[in-house]
């Protein structure tokens, strides 16, 4: 397994291109199940998770073709076509690699009248149940059976009738699954307390481009008028707000000056607010967001929350940056119960972080030092990279496969802005 080696202490400056959003792409790809016609997605990031999802879709008989990507380009174009489905089963071996596989349940049920998906189970960041996905589909008229580690959803003859569901907790994945099931239902469906992350808006925009009828896009109350068929479309994946925020933290911890090319302010307001509270300048400029730092970082107090709140997927990266702020920051993780695995590793690099339940107190230090560190999830890995950029000496981040799930050509992008970073075999 590869590791990333960083020799810290360089000030980052220049332009970093922001890739297509992983978490948008992973809900746009299963939309190929909803039509017999071709779906072309542009700006798809080159990531291990996208490759795994492609593999999963191929297993249902969906053809996938990648067009004209030169090795030096970021992103690529994929055309998917589900002319005929040869299987409606998502097996354990593919689902366990990637939790987002559960997002085939809703569209497969809508298209084929039934779907069987291995239960994804928990993961390093927490329990991650799917009860709300199932309750929403039941509310739309599906019958749900659980057996041998699999969930089977079955629509009545003639298709899902549609219905109404109010989420007791905001869930991104459950909102996505419910939307993809409702667009082909016979009647009208409503979702209340739905997630309204920018990736959900991206999904709604693609579904509308395919002929779906959705009201309330961008709000927590969605009304979906089912249509009898959807058609193909060509669609551009939105920029990755979490990748952009990660590079912003990397720039800030090195006192740098970096343009996040392609980043959109409207997707990132809470992250931008947190950066500004920390004393980082963030300006909307032509082509993206400019990050500059000209003084010490200040401490920040915040809690993660569903959009438009501060994203849980940015918590670890912001924490790494705040390790070198002047004063004590207080971060509270409200979404996932076990998302502080980066804390002991950051502390091994000289950070002073204490956790109590869901709250972490980050006492700023003047200096961090490079070390061998091990990450257990995607954003935790990125937090160690960020710390390594500011630490004295060499940091070796092991288990790079986590980073390859969600950061397109990380070491190349960091090198573009002046980091001393390389990938090596372990």
Ligand X SMILES: C=C(OP(=O)(O)O)C(=O)O
Which residue ranges are tagged as binding site for phosphoenolpyruvate? Answer: 22-23
Do residues 107 and 34 make contact, with C-beta atoms less than 8 angstroms apart?
yes
Least CB distance to ligand X at residue 125 (A): 6
Q: Which two tokens stand for residue 196?
A: 């309204």
Which position among 176, 199, 313, 404 is part of the footprint of ligand X (CB under 6 A)?
Answer: 313
Should residue 246 be labelled a site residue for ligand UD1 when binding is judged by CB under 6 A? no
Which position among 100, 258, 259, 341 is part of the footprint of ligand X (CB under 6 A)?
Answer: 100
| Residues in region 125-144 near ligand X by CB under 6 A | 125
Catalytic residue chosen out of the listed positions 31, 123, 249, 323? 123
Should residue 179 be labelled a site residue for ligand UD1 when binding is judged by CB under 6 A? no
Least CB distance to ligand X at residue 223 (A): 27
Q: Which two tokens stand for residue 220?
A: 């927590």
Least CB distance to ligand UD1 at residue 172 (A): 3
Known catalytic residue at 123: yes
Pairing mode, strands 13-17 and 257-261: parallel
| Residues in region 383-412 near ligand UD1 by CB under 6 A | none
Least CB distance to ligand UD1 at residue 102 (A): 8
As separate numbers, helices (DSSP H) first and strands (DSSP E) second, the chain gives 14, 24
State the burial class of residue 114 (Cβ atoms within 10 Å of its Cβ: 0-12, 13-18, 19+). Answer: middle
Cβ distance to ligand X smaller for residue 45 or 406: 406
Cβ-count burial 127-154 (b if 16+ within 10 Å, e if not): ebebebbbbbbebbbbeeeeeeebbbbb
| Residues in region 109-138 near ligand UD1 by CB under 6 A | 127-133
Q: Residue 344: enclosing H or E segment and its boundaries?
A: helix 342-348
CA–CA separation, 37 and 249 (whole Å): 41
Which position among 67, 146, 169, 424 is part of the footprint of ligand UD1 (CB under 6 A)?
Answer: 169
Whose structure tokens read 């990380």? 410
Q: Which two tokens stand for residue 176?
A: 């996505």
User: Which residue is closest to ligand X by CB?
Assistant: 313
| Residues in region 10-49 near ligand UD1 by CB under 6 A | 23, 26
| Residues in region 356-415 near ligand X by CB under 6 A | 378-379, 406
406 binds, among ligand X, ligand UD1, none (CB under 5 to 8 A by kind): ligand X
Q: What is the DSSP string of 249-314?
A: HHHHHTT-EEEEET--GGG-HHHHHHHHHTT-EEEEETTEEEEE--SPPPP-EEEB-STTSB-GGG
Whose structure tokens read 């667009």? 183
Decide: helix, strand or coil at residue 197: coil
Annotation: binding site: 22-23, 99, 128-132, 313, 335
Should residue 96 be labelled a site residue for ligand UD1 when binding is judged by CB under 6 A? no
Least CB distance to ligand X at residue 172 (A): 8
- With contacts defined by CB under 6 A, how many residues of the chain interact with ligand UD1? 19
Least CB distance to ligand UD1 at residue 240 (A): 11
Task: List all residues 6 or more positions away from 392 whose beta carbon is below 8 Å from its beta carbon.
Answer: 8, 9, 367, 368, 369, 370
Decide: helix, strand or coil at residue 238: coil
Cβ distance to ligand X smaller for residue 175 or 290: 175
State the burial class of residue 72 (Cβ atoms within 10 Å of its Cβ: 0-12, 13-18, 19+). Answer: exposed
Should residue 99 be labelled a site residue for ligand X when binding is judged by CB under 6 A? yes
Should residue 75 be labelled a site residue for ligand X when binding is judged by CB under 6 A? no
Residues in contact with ligand X by CB under 6 A are 23, 99-100, 125, 313, 378-379, 406
Contact residues toward ligand UD1 (CB under 6 A) are 23, 26, 100, 127-133, 169, 171-174, 312-313, 335-336
Catalytic residues: 123
């Amino acid at each position: 397994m590869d590791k990333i080696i960083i020799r810290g202490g360089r000030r980052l400056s220049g332009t970093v291109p922001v890739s297509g959003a992983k978490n948008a792409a992973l809900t746009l790809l299963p939309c190929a199940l909803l039509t017999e016609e071709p779906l072309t997605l542009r700006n798809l990031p080159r990531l291990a998770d996208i490759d795994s999802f492609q593999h999963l879709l191929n297993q249902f008989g969906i053809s996938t073709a990648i067009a004209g990507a030169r090795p030096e380009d970021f992103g690529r174009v994929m055309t998917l076509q589900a002319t005929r489905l040869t299987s409606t089963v998502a097996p354990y071996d593919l689902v366990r690699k990637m939790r987002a596989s559960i997002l085939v349940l809703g569209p497969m049920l809508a298209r084929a009248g039934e779907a069987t998906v291995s239960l994804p189970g928990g993961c390093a960041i927490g329990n991650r149940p799917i009860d709300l996905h199932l309750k929403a589909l039941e509310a739309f008229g599906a019958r749900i059976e659980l057996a041998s580690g699999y969930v089977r959803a079955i629509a009545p003859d003639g298709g899902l009738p549609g219905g109404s569901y109010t989420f007791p907790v905001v869930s991104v994945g459950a909102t996505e699954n419910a939307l993809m099931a409702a667009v082909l239902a016979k009647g009208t469906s409503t979702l209340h307390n739905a997630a309204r992350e920018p990736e959900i808006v991206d999904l709604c925009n693609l579904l509308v481009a395919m002929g779906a009828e959705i009201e309330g896009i961008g709000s927590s109350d969605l009304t979906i008028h089912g249509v009898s068929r959807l058609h193909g479309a060509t669609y551009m994946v939105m920029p990755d707000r979490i990748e952009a925020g990660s590079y912003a933290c990397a720039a800030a911890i090195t006192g740098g000056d970096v343009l996040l090319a392609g980043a959109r302010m409207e997707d990132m307001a809470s992250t931008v607010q947190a950066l500004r509270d920390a004393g980082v300048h963030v300006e909307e400029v032509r082509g993206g967001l400019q990050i500059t730092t000209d003084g010490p970082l200040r401490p920040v107090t915040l809690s993660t929350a569903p959009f438009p709140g501060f994203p849980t997927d940015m918590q670890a990266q912001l924490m790494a940056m705040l390790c070198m702020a002047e004063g004590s920051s207080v971060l509270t993780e409200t979404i996932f119960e076990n998302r502080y695995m980066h804390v002991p590793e950051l502390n091994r690099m000289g950070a002073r972080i204490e956790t109590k339940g869901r709250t972490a107190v980050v006492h700023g230090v003047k200096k961090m030092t490079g070390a061998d560190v091990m990450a257990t999830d995607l954003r935790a890995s990125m937090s160690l990279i960020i710390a390594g950029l500011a630490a004295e000496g060499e940091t070796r981040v092991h288990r790079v496969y986590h980073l390859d799930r969600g950061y397109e050509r990380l070491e190349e992008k960091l090198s573009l802005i002046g980091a001393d970073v390389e990938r090596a075999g372990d």
